[in-house]
Amino acid sequence: MFFSFLFLLGSLASCEKDDLEGKIKESEDMTTIYFMTQDSKNLDVVIKTNQKEQEIYWFEAGKKQTVIIPDDGVLNLPSNTELRVLNNIVDELSCTTPSLIGFDVDSLVSLKVLDLSNSGITEMKVSKSVNLQSLNCSSTPIISLDLTSNTNLKELDCSHTSVATLDISENIALTKLNISETNITTLDMSKNVGLIDFISQNAAFEELTFTENIKLENIDIENSAALTMLDLSGLENIKTLACANLEKIEKILYAATDISTVPAIIKDNSVIQEYCAIDGKCRLSLNSVSNYYFEDGEWKNVRDIPASMNITNLRSYGRPITLISLVDNIVIDNEGVETKLPADEEVELYIPGKGYIVVDNAKVLQKIQYTWNDVEELDVTNCYALEHLDCGDTKIKKIDLTNCTKLKYFSASLCYGLTELDLTQCPELTVANCGQTSISTINLSNNTKLEEFSCQNTQIETLDLSANINLKQLRFGRSKITAIDCSMLINLEFLHADKIGLTNLDLTNCTKLKELYCLETDVNSLDLSKCVDLEKLYCDNNDLLATINVSGCSSLLEISCSNTKLSSLNLADVTALESLSFSDTPNLKSLDLSTNVNLTHLDGSSSSLTSLDLSSCPLITYLSISYSEMEELNLSNCNSSLYLSCYSMPNISKIIYNAASIDEVSSKVLDKGSIQDYCFEDQTCRLYINDTDKFYFKYTGKHPDYGYDIGEWFKE
């Protein structure tokens, strides 16, 4: 429609061409300016010329309208106007009327300033205005700009538009640029060496680089929420830096060898400092390597690691690192052979910030430890000397250990983004931890020296350990494993297999086992009679577990088998037992503790025991039998510091305790409210002292000061 309109206007102009009068002659160089509007309202246009009393004309209702441009340049033109003017007299042109939706100029070569801000234009052609120096199209619906022909452009304002890409490589004269609130995410300013002012508020940039803009004086990038990196290298003339509310800023680069040479506007910028002090994320990096962080009112240096240091140990935990360079960290001897230094140089880093570690050609590096940070990439393909690698609790997604043939320790726990792991090229590996990752398969056939392995909380379904005879510690709980062969694990000392669908666990050959944790499985029996070195057994919450064989386990110190289907528990051989828990075992009706003289802790709450004899347990200090079916409790010879929890035992009728008199009964037994309350209600429970004298408790009144019930024990 717009071009049909232009053709119509052009035809009208041609019809009147022979009737031209006044100062404008046919032979003179003319240009046409097209103004297209969305309504019939007149346009306010400002035209400033380099000559006074210049005449312009247009056609209205088929008649030529001629007017002299006033000194202020302000003209009121009808809608949809095709304006004719001398090509070389117009310096400035402005039309900021919102109803203007189309603008085109034929060949206005003299035009230096064009302002169409706040208008309704969606496109604009200025390719022939080669002398244009200032262009303002801010707050318009325009979505693209072609400025490749405007090599003299000095000022550009396209802020508050939908422009997504901008090529200013030909605008080498540019000194001022405003691209605030646009859709621009990347911008190459390497050719704009004369740029002085840069404004980009509320922008979508993730990174901004001003390396070539050495004349830059003023930068305004406030509220650029996506910005993570700002390169100010070489900006020695910078005067203002507005950078408030940069929520994701992590790195500010500056080309300098020492913090003292950094301009104050960068170094002492309160906005940067306050942000760093609060969040501890932003880094001021000199020469892209040295890292400074702001703390306690000053910039502190996190040193770079040059090759000359020959680092063998890199450690970073507690907080993430920004950038540490280990490039070419290599030693070459006199014969040109690469060697590994015996040096024990170690660098520990406690640096906040997201980033990465460069270790290319770090052939001396023996140890890398960086945990609990946002590092996503780590290239160790050339770290031939690497023996220790800990990248746990990071955002690592992939790691290639092909050339790490000397690796002995590896941990990638809590790396939920890690989906695959190949350890087959690491034959020296003794410790491997890939727990809490997203890997689904693992091959350990070449890791014959492996002593510790963990794959807890992974998607692994099968685990072949036939080649891992040296394994001492194994953790595979909360995985997809339902069956496992432990017959080759003759050196196993620690096994953790909780919350899995395991139905059978044969530990016959695991004679060196010391600790077993198999909570919440589908195992129905456990034969541990061959595990003569066993010290700890935790098998709680196994709904199908009906039998446990611990005969011969004389070293066993702790047993916890609560919430199981056990109907019997033979502890005769478990003479070293110190702690026993069997709460919520409805099928367990009796328990013999006569040989467990070292018992100090017992929890039998919510059990079905009707009697419990602890007379052979003089060391016991904690006893919980609340909510049980207990009828008789023998505490003879028990420790005077015994803590007794015995709430809600409706069947209790007899408690035996050894003492010279009622006054010498342990206060922890005598004053236990649960016993007293029960006696007060039914007066059936009796406290037997020395199994002869019987006492009952009776409330006698209220406390005179506080009003609660008080009572005393009476001899029967």
Question: Is a pLDDT exceeding 80 seen at residue 356?
Answer: no
- Give CA–CA dist 97/71, Å, rounded: 21
- Give CA–CA dist 668/382, Å, rounded: 66
Q: What pLDDT, on the 0 to 100 scale, is given for residue 365?
A: 61
Q: What pLDDT, on the 0 to 100 scale, is given for residue 456?
A: 96
pLDDT band at residue 252 using 50, 70 and 90 as cut-offs: confident
DSSP string covering 250-289 = -EEEE--SSGGGS-HHHHT-HHHHHHHHHH---EEEETTT
Candidate from 58-62, 114-118, 278-282 with smallest mean pLDDT: 278-282
Could you tell me which of 569, 570, 531 has the C-alpha nearest to residue 553?
531
Between 455 and 77, whose confidence is greater? 455
Phi/psi region, residue 584 (left: phi>0; alpha: psi -120 to 50; beta: rest), is: left
58 in Cβ contact with 30 (< 8 Å): no
Coil, helix or strand for 9?
helix
Q: What pLDDT, on the 0 to 100 scale, is given for residue 370?
A: 61
Residue 470 is encoded by which pair of tokens?
């040296």
Tokens 């990347």, residue? 186
Average pLDDT, the chain: 80
- pLDDT one-digit tens code per residue, 441-490: 999 999 999 999 999 999 999 999 999 999 999 999 999 999 999 999 99
Mean pLDDT for the stretch of residues 223-227: 87
- Give CA–CA dist 254/462, Å, rounded: 52
Mean pLDDT for the stretch of residues 627-656: 84
- Give CA–CA dist 394/416, Å, rounded: 8
Could you tell me which of 14, 62, 4, 56 has the C-alpha nearest to residue 33?
56
Between 515 and 92, whose confidence is greater? 515
Residue 137 is encoded by which pair of tokens?
């199209």
Question: Is a pLDDT exceeding 50 seen at residue 308?
Answer: no
Candidate from 112-126, 334-348, 416-430 with smallest mean pLDDT: 334-348
pLDDT band at residue 438 using 50, 70 and 90 as cut-offs: very high
- Give CA–CA dist 35/233, Å, rounded: 45
Q: What pLDDT, on the 0 to 100 scale, is given for residue 385?
A: 78
Question: Is a pLDDT exceeding 70 seen at residue 583?
Answer: yes
Q: What pLDDT, on the 0 to 100 scale, is given for residue 426?
A: 96
- Give CA–CA dist 674/456, Å, rounded: 43
Could you tell me which of 623, 612, 667, 663 has the C-alpha nearest to residue 646?
623
- pLDDT one-digit tens code per residue, 138-153: 999 999 999 999 999 9
Q: What pLDDT, on the 0 to 100 scale, is given for residue 676?
A: 55
**Strands 601-603 and 622-624, how do they pair?**
parallel
Question: Is a pLDDT exceeding 90 seen at residue 397?
Answer: no
Candidate from 50-59, 65-74, 376-385, 504-513 with smallest mean pLDDT: 376-385
**Strands 431-433 and 452-454, how do they pair?**
parallel
Residue 355 is encoded by which pair of tokens?
């980033």
Candidate from 19-28, 50-59, 185-194, 373-382 with smallest mean pLDDT: 19-28
pLDDT band at residue 353 using 50, 70 and 90 as cut-offs: very low
Between 584 and 280, whose confidence is greater? 584
pLDDT band at residue 277 using 50, 70 and 90 as cut-offs: very low
- Helix/strand/coil (H/E/C) assignment for every residue in 623-683: EECCCCCCCEEECCCCCCCCEEECCCCCCCCEEEECCCCHHHCCHHHHCCHHHHHHHHHHC
Sheet with 176-178, strands from edge to edge, namely: 74-77, 43-49, 90-94, 113-115, 134-136, 155-157, 176-178, 197-199, 218-220, 240-242
- pLDDT one-digit tens code per residue, 524-563: 999 999 999 999 999 999 999 999 999 999 999 999 999 9
- Give CA–CA dist 380/396, Å, rounded: 13
Highest mean pLDDT out of 85-89, 326-330, 507-511: 507-511
- Is pTM beyond 0.85? Reply is no
Coil, helix or strand for 689?
strand
pLDDT band at residue 315 using 50, 70 and 90 as cut-offs: very low
Mean pLDDT for the stretch of residues 578-602: 97
